[in-house]
Amino acid sequence: MQKIGVIGGGTMGAGIAEVCIKAGSEVIIIEAKPEFVESAQKRVSTSLGKAVSRGKISQEDADAALARLTVTVDYDTLADRDLVIEAAPENLDLKRQIFARLDEVTSAEAILATNTSSIPVIQVATATKKPARVVGVHFFNPVPVMPLVEIISTLVTDEKIADTVADYVKNTLGKTVVRAGDQSGFIVNALLIPYLCQAIRMYASGYATAEDIDAAMVGGCGYPMGPLTLCDTVGLDIALAASESLYAEFGEPHLAPPPLLRRMVEAGQLGRKSGQGFYNYS
Ligand code: CAA
């Protein structure tokens, strides 16, 4: 597996593309609109520049990696891809449209993967005529730094396909692989999202300040960042979508999105990427 496609050059897509080109794969990112192409390219080159300045990679290797990246809006360029990883927004209809398109443009041997953080993979896979070749491949933010990838098999995924992807992620990308069944949230978000929602409820009730909630979990539990800082980093829209998927799947009250999370997303307060979340970044 050397020819990889990535759908979407946002935070996750750019991060996935970066780790693949650093590992020697040739990557095509498909962007939704021509005006997004340049910023997707820049996202990858800026992060690679950061890796160079931190001594994680040489300038020469970063340049060679960037030369393996193409960003385009042309789905037909995916015809020769071994693996295509979709990293589009968490919207089932959009993902199904993308997978139907991928089914048309990719070869019969191509493996299709979704980086969904919480939508059951089968709901995406059935948009194709080859659901046995569809897996979940869930990376974590920031992708170049976080070691984990969850590999999700649906009820109909060919296990040889899941094994092939797990082998690539582990042995080529050098990530830690865990395998999970096809339930909303998989392992990490099924545990993380209720914790984040509970922190938002605690903050919304006025029980403690954002700073103190975060300081408590950093200092008291040794977490690298507190839950509200983590919400801002992940994106409040992503946290909301994950919470909605989990609540739709399990119907348990503690999984329901807190009203404040919904209001902040409606107000455009998406966290770090919008400049305002539980903290101000401008
Ligand atoms: N490329 C390569 N390496 C990089 C890098 C880059 N672009 N940027 C940073 N690094 C490296 C640094 O060199 C450093 O490495 P060393 O420890 O070897 O020196 C390491 O990454 C940490 O970087 P920093 O020291 O700058 O930053 P930090 O110590 O403040 O850590 C963090 C930053 C890794 C993000 C840390 O705060 C953390 O782990 N936070 C929690 C993140 C998390 O929980 N992510 C999961 C979110 S949930 C999700 O993504 C799933 C979903 O579906 C919603």
**Is 149 close to ligand 1, i.e. is its CB under 6 Å away?**
no
The answer to whether the beta carbons of residues 105 and 76 sit under 8 Å apart is: yes
The answer to whether the beta carbons of residues 71 and 98 sit under 8 Å apart is: no
Burial category of 215 from C-beta neighbours within 10 Å (exposed 0-12, middle 13-18, buried 19 and up): middle
184 catalytic residue (yes or no): no
Residue 7 CA, ligand 1 centroid: distance in Å: 23
User: Along the 282 residues of the chain, how does pLDDT read in single tens digits?
Assistant: 899 999 999 999 999 999 999 999 999 999 999 999 999 999 999 999 999 999 999 999 999 999 999 999 999 999 999 999 999 999 999 999 999 999 999 999 999 999 999 899 999 999 999 999 999 999 999 999 999 999 999 999 999 999 999 999 999 999 999 999 999 999 999 999 999 999 999 999 999 999 999 999 999 999 999 999 999 999 999 999 999 999 999 999 999 999 999 999 999 999 999 999 999 999
138 catalytic residue (yes or no): yes
Q: What pLDDT is stored for residue 118 in this prediction?
A: 87
Q: CA 234 to CA 25: how far, in whole Å?
A: 26
Q: What pLDDT is stored for residue 1 in this prediction?
A: 84
Q: CA 37 to CA 45: how far, in whole Å?
A: 13
SS3 255: helix
SS3 138: strand
Q: Tokens for 237?
A: 């829209």
Check 18, 31, 90, 150 and give the catalytic one: 150
Q: What pLDDT is stored for residue 246 in this prediction?
A: 96
Q: What pLDDT is stored for residue 61 in this prediction?
A: 97
**Is 224 close to ligand 1, i.e. is its CB under 6 Å away?**
yes
Check 153, 189, 245, 274 and give the catalytic one: 189
CA 96 to chain centre: 16
- C-alpha dihedral over 17, 23, 27, 31, to 10 degrees? 0
Residue 147 CA, ligand 1 centroid: distance in Å: 9
* Cα 12-16-22 angle, rounded to 5 deg: 145
- Domains of the chain and any CATH numbers: 3-180 (3.40.50.720), 188-274 (1.10.1040.10)
Q: What pLDDT is stored for residue 93 in this prediction?
A: 97
Backbone angles phi, psi at 127, to 5 degrees: -75, -10
CA 206 to chain centre: 32
**Is 51 close to ligand 1, i.e. is its CB under 6 Å away?**
yes
